[in-house]
């Protein structure tokens, strides 16, 4: 039984040396609680050097991209004087390292600066746009879980049946079809065949939940399909793997109903790899909604980054990417902590 | 249980941090939506327009982007404007008069108020133009008014412009939406006008939600009697063409611009009007005049002869474009009939002969740079590649991203660059600004004293008939020299629901909605 010693699985549910296990558990829980806080604090502290690294990479990459900021903003009718004036206003005429220190020292005190293009404050903008991207990501994730996890389980249980093959084909489709293609196809089909298009102009969830969900459903569905494909495949293979293990045979031998075997024993243990892929997908989605937000005209964080890059609005791109990196790390931390909740054998030191 | 509670608590705290942002901004959204509803009564006339780009800011003096112009041109007024026949008509100025060749006096309309309640006086006009001409403003239209020596408020409602010399173009330049009259106190208060907008125009800025929408509401105090009819205009930013196509089909928006290809898809659909108009733009292939091969006039002429502009119109623009010279046909009788010009004859034998004379009997290899952002530019480059291969010119195409493209444009670091120019509203723009040896947008290194003299003459000649002759000569001269190959001027398309009435797009004002109603 590699990696699965008796007595430490699933809250001491099934097994032999119950008494010993209980006492061990109590001891461990105590220690673990202490360790976990230290762990979380350490992880949060680690965010700082990583963000510093991200800030350096993004700042200098943007400076290397060809295309002069002032020229891009003012267009072809700009004069030398107007270009110089704009560069002066944003310190673009200073040495690059000086520009970096000016920017990063602002970030440290929470000042993300203003957009070079519109003059608007960046941080409030990032936060309000993050809300949209976050809602979109969560909806996409929920849609994908609702579809993918049950189908994945069914496929795993009924391996090599017609059901299994259909699920595998569906998931392959989900993984393979590019988001933007599916999005455009859906928009055109709905418009041409059903004379339907989502309402224009984004409205927040708390302002008008129905319109909000109408607007977000299509993009969430498109994003959800790709994620569903990956989650479906992972659920299937993970269930297959667990079902082969000895403790499942033991549980079955005890005469436990198959439904309970699957949901209480197999599925819970299969969740770890599924969670890993979900965590990664949610992170990727957060940064990867760019094209979908553009196609569906959603004013999210991705749209902000894309517009910023096209317009060489450095301050906006830097701020937004730094923020995305921060959220990405928080999600990773959340997933790591969820591991130990799902599988108490996983300890953090 | 203890263990679980602790875990859940920590997970909850982290999840809460993530949600915090979501909730706080959700509150803002609900506020704005509340405003919307209170503004929207029973039979409100609201025109919903899909804007293909997000406005890049609303300061008329420093923002040239079309997505911005279409919004701020509704908020601000200019001194004079064009009517549908391109004749000057009063706007903020009731009358204007040349007291001599270099002194222009405007009488302002009295009783016009800014959206914040201030009255418009001569001082506002003086301030606005001083702001445009101030180097620190970095205005893209400063060059339009370079002939201004000084501006003076000669009375409460009288402004006098003193020019350094005669300038036949300046009145037309006053019609430019960017030459807007702004309010000094608003600029002082906000630094610039990118985020705020207080003008005297038919609509007021109600709200701008970035990457989402701009809402304008009717200016009840507008000085033109009975205008505008609409209660509000909403611009929705919809970058994706398919999304705009879908929204206009289903009536989610009332009006949008589309490419010719998409417009054809909805043409004839029930409830939809497709309107077309000749744009002020034209496409070109610009030559680096200091290039070893291209600096030879004969080579450029040979390339012009090898170019089949008709087929560019047919293939790149589905036939929805007109062959043009340096002044687009939408400029009316200012532009010459280029089809008569020898270099437009697509005579390949003649082209080969010229190449032979220039010392390239077997042709040469050259690179064309184009922006990957615009399909029409890529298609144009590919057609030229095929057409020029006929006379032995071997073209490689380089596609670059828009920001890099602008860099290349500025520094002329490409052999040949495909692009599009706007003709402007006065021929001086097309001829002087782009090709005078010290013209602000002459990036090609084209320097020809004789040409400079002709266009300078055009700028300072006030007599209209005489000006026509001068610009006819200038266009023919420029075609002979071919510093650029002028290709075609495309049609533009506006698609509207048939509920939108009293609306027609014109080349110099594609969004005149002053009398527009919704049924």
The string of pLDDT tens digits covering residues A239-277 is 888 888 888 888 888 888 888 888 888 888 888 888 888
**Which pLDDT score is estimated for A303?**
87
Q: Count Cβ atoms below 10 Å from residue A309 Cβ, excluding itself.
A: 20
Residues B495, B500, B503, B508: is their CA dihedral positive or negative? negative
Q: Which two tokens stand for residue B56?
A: 């890049």
Q: DSSP string of B407-420?
A: HHHHHT-SSEEEEE
Choose from A23-27, A127-131, B208-212, B355-359 the range with maximum mean pLDDT. Answer: B355-359
B152: three-class secondary structure by DSSP: strand
Residue A10, pLDDT above cutoff 90: no
**B contacts of A333 (beta carbons < 8 Å):** 14
Interface of B with A in 340-359 (CB under 8 A): none
What distance in Å separates residue A10's CA from the closest CA in chain B? Answer: 13
CB contact under 8 A, A197 and B57: no
Query: Alpha-carbon distance A261 to A259, whole Å?
Result: 5
Strands of the sheet containing B93-100, edge to edge, are B93-100, B103-108, B158-163, B148-155
For chain A, the residue count is 349
**Which pLDDT score is estimated for A4?**
41
CB contact under 8 A, B10 and A202: no
Give the closest of A304, A312, A344 to B211, CB-based.
A304
Residue pair B509/B515 in contact (Cβ under 8 Å)? The answer is no
**Which pLDDT score is estimated for B12?**
61
Tell me which of B195, B240, B245 to substitute to probe the interface with A (most A C-beta atoms closer than 10 Å). Answer: B240
Interface of B with A in 268-287 (CB under 8 A): none
**Residue of B421, B449, B466, B462 whose CA lies nearest to B167:** B462
Query: Alpha-carbon distance A300 to B315, whole Å?
Result: 37
Give the closest of A77, A208, A312 to B441, CB-based.
A77
**Which pLDDT score is estimated for B6?**
62
**Which pLDDT score is estimated for A99?**
87
Residues of chain B where predicted confidence (pLDDT) is lower than 70: 1-42
Name the phi and psi angles at B129, rounded to 5. -75, -30
**Which pLDDT score is estimated for B318?**
87
B233: three-class secondary structure by DSSP: strand
Tell me which of B17, B24, B29 to substitute to probe the interface with A (most A C-beta atoms closer than 10 Å). Answer: B29
Residues B340, B345, B351, B352: is their CA dihedral positive or negative? negative
Query: Alpha-carbon distance B356 to B301, whole Å?
Result: 12
Q: Count Cβ atoms below 10 Å from residue A258 Cβ, excluding itself.
A: 10
Q: DSSP string of B470-484?
A: HHHHHHHHHHHH-SE
Residue pair A53/A61 in contact (Cβ under 8 Å)? The answer is no
- Bridge partners, B49 (sequence order): B235, B255
**A contacts of B195 (beta carbons < 8 Å):** 118-120
Which residues fall within 8 angstroms of residue B218, CB to CB, at 6 or more apart? B202, B203, B204, B228, B230, B231, B232
**B contacts of A82 (beta carbons < 8 Å):** 62, 135, 137-140, 142
B285: three-class secondary structure by DSSP: strand
Percent helix, strand, coil in chain B (nearest 5)?
40, 25, 40
What distance in Å separates residue B431's CA from the closest CA in chain A? Answer: 14
Name the phi and psi angles at B416, rounded to 5. -135, 135
- Bridge partners, B501 (sequence order): B517
pLDDT (average), residues A28-55: 75
CB contact under 8 A, B402 and A67: yes
pLDDT digits (tens, 9 = 90+) for A198-226: 888 888 888 888 889 999 999 999 999 88
Computed over every residue of chain A, the mean pLDDT equals: 81
| Cα pseudo-dihedral B261, B266, B267, B272, rounded to 10 | -140
β-strands B93-100, B88-90 pairing: unpaired
What would you measure as the largest C-alpha separation in chain A, in angstroms?
85
**Residue of B470, B446, B512, B481 whose CA lies nearest to B201:** B512
B319: three-class secondary structure by DSSP: coil
What distance in Å separates residue B268's CA from the closest CA in chain A? Answer: 14
With residue B216 as reference, give the H or E element that holds it.
Answer: strand B213-218
pLDDT (average), residues A44-73: 84
**Residue of B489, B455, B490 whose CA lies nearest to B472:** B455
B143 interfaces chain A, CB cutoff of 8 Å: yes
CB contact under 8 A, A82 and B62: yes
CB contact under 8 A, B10 and A85: no
Comparing B446 with A19, the larger pLDDT belongs to: B446
Q: Which two tokens stand for residue B175?
A: 């019609």
Which residues fall within 8 angstroms of residue B233, CB to CB, at 6 or more apart? B46, B47, B49, B74, B203, B215, B216, B513
Q: How many CA atoms lie within 13 A of B98 on its CB side?
A: 12
- Bridge partners, B365 (sequence order): B394
**Which pLDDT score is estimated for A118?**
72
| DSSP annotation of A121 | B
pLDDT digits (tens, 9 = 90+) for A274-301: 888 888 788 777 766 888 888 888 888 8
Span between the terminal Cα atoms of chain B, in Å? 65
CB contact under 8 A, A77 and B17: no
Residue pair A32/A24 in contact (Cβ under 8 Å)? The answer is no
Query: Alpha-carbon distance B196 to B190, whole Å?
Result: 8
**A contacts of B406 (beta carbons < 8 Å):** 67-68, 71-72, 75-76
pLDDT digits (tens, 9 = 90+) for B125-184: 999 999 999 887 878 788 889 899 999 999 999 999 999 999 988 998 999 999 999 999
What distance in Å separates residue B4's CA from the closest CA in chain A? Answer: 8
Name the phi and psi angles at B293, rounded to 5. -90, -45
A294 interfaces chain B, CB cutoff of 8 Å: yes
CB contact under 8 A, A85 and B441: no
Query: Alpha-carbon distance A255 to A141, whole Å?
Result: 36
- Bridge partners, B237 (sequence order): B51
What distance in Å separates residue B399's CA from the closest CA in chain A? Answer: 13
pLDDT (average), residues A224-247: 88
Query: Alpha-carbon distance B493 to B235, whole Å?
Result: 17
pTM summary value: 0.78
**Residue of A66, A195, A281 whose CA lies nearest to B402:** A66
The full 3-state SS of B487-510, as one line of letters, equals CEEEEEEEEEECCEECCCCECCEC
pLDDT digits (tens, 9 = 90+) for B238-249: 988 888 998 998
β-strands B488-497, B272-278 pairing: antiparallel
Residue pair A12/A18 in contact (Cβ under 8 Å)? The answer is yes
Which residues fall within 8 angstroms of residue B308, CB to CB, at 6 or more apart? B346, B387
Name the phi and psi angles at B53, rounded to 5. -140, 155
B62: three-class secondary structure by DSSP: coil
CB contact under 8 A, B138 and A86: yes
Instruction: Give CA B345 to chain center in angstroms.
Output: 31
CA angle B212, B213, B217 (to 5 degrees): 165
CB contact under 8 A, A184 and B240: yes
The full 3-state SS of B74-100, as one line of letters, equals HHCCCCEEECCCCCEEECCEEEEEEEE
Residue A87, pLDDT above cutoff 60: yes
Percent share of chain A, pLDDT over 70: 86
Answer yes or no: is the ipTM higher than 0.90.
no
Residue pair B327/B426 in contact (Cβ under 8 Å)? The answer is no
Nearest chain A residue to B237 by CA distance is A297
Give the closest of A78, A135, A307 to B140, CB-based.
A78
Query: Alpha-carbon distance B16 to A348, whole Å?
Result: 22
What distance in Å separates residue B359's CA from the closest CA in chain A? Answer: 35
CA angle B42, B48, B49 (to 5 degrees): 170
**Which pLDDT score is estimated for B442?**
84
Residue pair B89/B80 in contact (Cβ under 8 Å)? The answer is yes
pLDDT digits (tens, 9 = 90+) for A174-187: 888 888 899 999 99
Q: Which two tokens stand for residue A41?
A: 């604090």
**B contacts of A68 (beta carbons < 8 Å):** 403, 406-407, 410
Q: Which two tokens stand for residue A167?
A: 């699920």
């Amino acid at each position: 039984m590699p990696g699965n010693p008796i007595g430490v699985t699933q809250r001491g549910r099934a097994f032999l040396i119950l008494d010993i296990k209980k006492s061990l558990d109590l001891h461990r829980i105590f220690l673990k609680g202490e360790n976990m806080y230290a762990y979380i604090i350490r992880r949060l502290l680690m965010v700082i050097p990583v963000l510093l690294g991200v800030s350096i990479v993004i700042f200098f990459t943007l400076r290397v991209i060809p295309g002069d900021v002032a020229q891009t903003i003012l267009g072809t009718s700009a004069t030398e004087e107007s270009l110089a004036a704009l560069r002066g206003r944003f310190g673009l005429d200073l040495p690059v390292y000086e520009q970096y220190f000016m920017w990063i020292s602002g970030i440290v005190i929470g000042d993300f600066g203003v957009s070079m293009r519109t003059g608007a404050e960046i941080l409030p903008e990032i936060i309000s746009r993050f809300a949209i991207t976050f809602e979109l990501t969560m909806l996409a994730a929920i849609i994908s879980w609702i579809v993918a996890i049950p189908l994945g389980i069914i496929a795993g249980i009924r391996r090599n049946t017609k059901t299994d093959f259909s699920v595998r084909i569906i998931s392959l489709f989900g993984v393979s079809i590019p988001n933007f293609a599916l999005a455009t196809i859906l928009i055109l089909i709905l418009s041409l065949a059903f004379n339907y298009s989502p309402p224009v102009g984004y409205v927040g969830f708390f302002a008008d939940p129905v319109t909000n969900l109408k607007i977000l459903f299509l993009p969430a569905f498109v994003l959800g399909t790709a994620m569903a494909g990956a989650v479906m495949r992972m659920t299937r293979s993970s269930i297959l793997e667990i079902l082969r293990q000895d403790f499942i045979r033991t549980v079955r031998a005890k005469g436990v109903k198959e439904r309970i075997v699957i949901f209480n024993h197999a599925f819970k243990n299969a969740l770890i790899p599924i969670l890993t892929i979900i965590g990664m997908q949610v992170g990727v989605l957060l940064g990867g909604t760019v094209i979908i937000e553009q196609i569906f005209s959603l004013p999210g964080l991705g749209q902000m980054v894309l517009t910023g890059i096209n317009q060489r609005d450095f301050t906006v791109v830097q701020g937004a990417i730094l923020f995305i990196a921060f959220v990405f790390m928080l999600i990773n931390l959340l997933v790591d902590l969820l591991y130990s909740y799902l599988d108490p054998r996983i300890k953090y030191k | 249980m203890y263990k679980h509670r602790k875990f859940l608590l920590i997970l909850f705290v982290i999840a809460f941090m993530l949600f915090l942002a979501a909730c706080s901004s959700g509150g803002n959204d609900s506020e704005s939506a509340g405003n919307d509803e209170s503004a929207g009564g029973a039979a409100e006339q609201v025109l919903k327009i899909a804007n293909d780009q997000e406005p890049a800011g609303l300061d008329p003096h420093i923002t040239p982007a079309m997505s911005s112009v279409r919004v701020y041109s509704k908020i601000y007024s200019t001194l004079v404007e064009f009517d549908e026949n391109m004749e000057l008509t009063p706007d903020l100025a009731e009358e204007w008069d040349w007291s001599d060749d270099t002194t222009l006096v405007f009488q302002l309309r009295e009783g016009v108020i800014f959206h914040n309640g201030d009255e418009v006086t001569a001082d506002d006009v003086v301030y606005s133009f001083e702001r445009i001409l101030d180097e620190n403003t970095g205005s893209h239209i400063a060059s339009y008014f370079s002939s201004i020596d000084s501006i003076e408020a000669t009375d409460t409602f009288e402004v006098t412009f003193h020019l350094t010399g005669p300038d036949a173009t300046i009145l037309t330049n006053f019609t430019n939406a960017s030459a807007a009259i702004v309010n000094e106190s608003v600029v002082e208060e906000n630094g610039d006008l990118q985020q705020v907008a207080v003008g005297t125009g038919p609509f007021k800025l109600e709200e701008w939600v970035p990457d989402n929408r701009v809402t304008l509401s009717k200016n009840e105090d507008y000085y033109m009697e009975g205008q505008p009819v609409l209660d509000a205009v909403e611009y929705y930013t919809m970058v994706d063409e398919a999304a705009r196509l879908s929204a206009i089909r289903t009536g989610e928006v009332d009006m949008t611009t589309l490419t010719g290809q998409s417009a054809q898809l909805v043409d004839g659909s029930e409830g939809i009007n497709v309107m077309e108009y000749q744009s002020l733009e034209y496409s070109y292939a610009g030559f680096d005049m200091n290039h070893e091969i291209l600096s030879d006039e004969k080579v450029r002429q040979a390339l012009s002869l090898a170019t089949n502009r008709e087929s560019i119109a047919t293939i790149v623009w589905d036939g929805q474009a007109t062959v043009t010279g340096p002044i687009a046909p939408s400029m009316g009788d200012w532009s010459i009939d280029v089809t008569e010009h020898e270099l437009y004859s697509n005579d390949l034998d003649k082209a080969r002969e010229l190449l032979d004379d220039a010392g390239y009997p077997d042709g040469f290899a050259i690179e064309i740079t184009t922006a990957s952002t615009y399909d029409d530019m890529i298609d144009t480059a590919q057609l030229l590649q095929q057409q020029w291969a006929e006379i032995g010119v071997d073209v490689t195409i380089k596609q670059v991203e828009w920001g890099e493209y602008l860099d290349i444009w500025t520094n002329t670091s490409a052999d040949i660059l495909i692009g599009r120019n706007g003709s402007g509203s006065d021929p001086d723009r097309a001829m002087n600004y782009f090709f005078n040896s010290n013209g602000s947008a002459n990036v090609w290194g084209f320097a020809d004293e004789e040409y400079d003299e002709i266009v300078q003459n055009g700028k300072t000649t006030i007599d209209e008939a005489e000006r026509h002759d001068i610009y006819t000569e200038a266009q023919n001269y420029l075609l002979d020299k071919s510093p650029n190959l002028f290709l075609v001027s495309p049609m533009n398309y506006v698609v509207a629901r048939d509920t939108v009435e009293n609306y027609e797009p014109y080349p110099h004002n594609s969004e005149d909605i002053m009398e527009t109603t919704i049924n």
